[in-house]
Amino acid sequence: MKAEDLNDFHVLRTDLAVMKWTSTAKIDADLQATRTWMDRFFPPNDATTFQFAIEELNTPGRVIGVVGSHTAEPPECGYMLRKDSWGKGYATEALKAWIQAWWALPRRTVDVDQGGADDGCRRITGDDGIVREVLIAGIDSNNVPSRKVLEKCGFRFFSTYDEGVTGDRVSIEYHLTRPDP
Nearest Cα to Cα of residue 3 among 51, 48, 69: 51
Indicate the DSSP class of residue 74. Answer: T
Indicate the DSSP class of residue 143. Answer: -
Domain locations along the chain:
3-177
Helix (H) or strand (E) holding 165: none
Nearest Cα to Cα of residue 74 among 110, 121, 114, 113: 121
Q: Which CATH class is domain 3-177?
A: alpha beta
pLDDT tens track, the chain, 181 positions: 999 999 999 999 999 999 999 988 999 999 999 999 999 999 988 888 899 999 999 999 999 999 999 877 778 999 999 999 999 999 999 999 999 999 998 876 655 555 443 444 455 556 666 667 899 999 999 999 999 999 999 999 999 876 555 556 788 999 999 887 6
